[in-house]
Amino acid sequence: VEKHMEKRLKMFLDLFWLRPEKALIFTFRGKTFKENKILSPSLDISCGDGLFMFLQQGGTLDKKFDYFKSTNAKKFKHSSFIDIYNFDKAYDLKITKKAAVKIDYGIDWKQSLLDKAAKVGVYKNLMVHDNNDVPLPFEDNYFKTIYSNSAYWVKDVKSLTEDIYRMLKPGGTAILEVKTPYLLKTLDQMEKFLPGEAIAILNRKRRETMPGGLKYEEWKKIFKGCGFKLKEARSAYPDKIVMDIWNVGLRPISHLLIQMASELSPQKRKALKEEWVDIFFKLFKPILSVKQTYPLKRAPYLVFVLKK
Ligand SMILES: C[S@@+](CC[C@H](N)C(=O)[O-])C[C@H]1O[C@@H](n2cnc3c(N)ncnc32)[C@H](O)[C@@H]1O
């Protein structure tokens, strides 16, 4: 397990080097794909830029590719918030190995992210769709696998779940990674020590843009209520240390780091990045083997494998 996880950590650090905390949580994601293969026809709801799925399915990127060269970081201020990755100029991507499995449909509500996803080529079809609009534009009993790690950023969780059930073939599998009220617990705890202004910097609008967290028992009730059989449920992350790192991380200064890096010559940027990635690899490697301490009822992110 360890070697495989170390490889993943290195892969995600190479990609998200200026956001190492993001690399750490991505390392823990998608473990479930080992036992639950994606079967066609398949759907990824809220696929975003598709890089997670591409790397997850064995794709590799050229060393020269740098994720942070295509952002709107210059326009970001904590006082005038924008999504710096919702950027029209898609990146100059070079793929060294294609993904082994292609997903039939990827949907997301941001066209700019889908433009990036089109370049990685892990989806056969891409469509703009807001998950608040149900039904989704697919037939009943159509998909063998529906995956999402961010489907539930919606107002009505139950309607979306009913719709996922509707679109799934009998015998099909839905793999849903969902959040709970404990995802931003680090911030709640820090509120004891930090004023609102400091919390806002750490929060970076996550409380507002990521609604819809439910507790384990509540998620279970919704899934069962819609007809799903529960095959597996587990915590996506092993211990609160992972969440504490993710909740603080380099996020507060990432727009500045991105701008600083853009001033470097390509050679300097490459050399600094290598040393940078090495440091975070040493820091995070021991965390890959921390024991599972989160019980389901307190886990910040849950992975549900559901059957119709
Ligand atoms: C944390 S990202 C994850 C993206 C991708 N699944 C991944 O693993 O990299 C969350 C995604 O959800 C999308 N999203 C948020 N709310 C949405 C909604 N109501 N309808 C469709 N997509 C939504 C965002 O545009 C973003 O791409």
Atom of ligand 1 nearest to the CA of 86: 25
* pLDDT exceeds 90 at position 82: no
* pLDDT exceeds 70 at position 212: no
The 10s digit of each residue's pLDDT in 134-188 is 999 999 999 999 999 988 888 899 999 999 999 999 999 999 999 999 999 999 9
pLDDT at 248: 96
Residue 109 CB less than 6 A away from ligand 1: yes
The residue whose C-alpha atom lies closest to atom 1 belonging to ligand 1 is 150
The residue whose C-alpha atom lies closest to atom 15 belonging to ligand 1 is 153
Question: What's the CA-to-centroid distance between 131 and ligand 1, angstroms?
Answer: 9
The 10s digit of each residue's pLDDT in 98-142 is 999 999 999 999 999 999 999 999 999 999 999 999 999 999 999
Please identify which residue in the block is written with the tokens 């295509």.
70
Name the CA dihedral angle for 217, 163, 115, 113, rounded to a multiple of 10 degrees. Answer: -30
SS (H, E, C) 22-55: HHHHHHHCCHHHHCCCCCCCEEEECCCCCHHHHH
Residue 30 CB less than 6 A away from ligand 1: no
Structure tokens of 248?
């603080």
The 10s digit of each residue's pLDDT in 216-254 is 999 999 999 999 999 999 999 999 999 999 999 999 999
220: helix, strand or coil: helix
Question: What's the CA-to-centroid distance between 20 and ligand 1, angstroms?
Answer: 20
Residue 108 CB less than 6 A away from ligand 1: yes
Choose one of 8, 31, 108 to mutate for the ligand 1 pocket test, by most ligand atoms within 8 angstroms of C-beta.
108
- Cβ burial of 291 (10 Å; 0-12, 13-18, 19+) is exposed
* pLDDT exceeds 80 at position 48: yes
Residue 131 CB less than 6 A away from ligand 1: yes
* pLDDT exceeds 80 at position 194: yes
Residue 113 CB less than 6 A away from ligand 1: yes
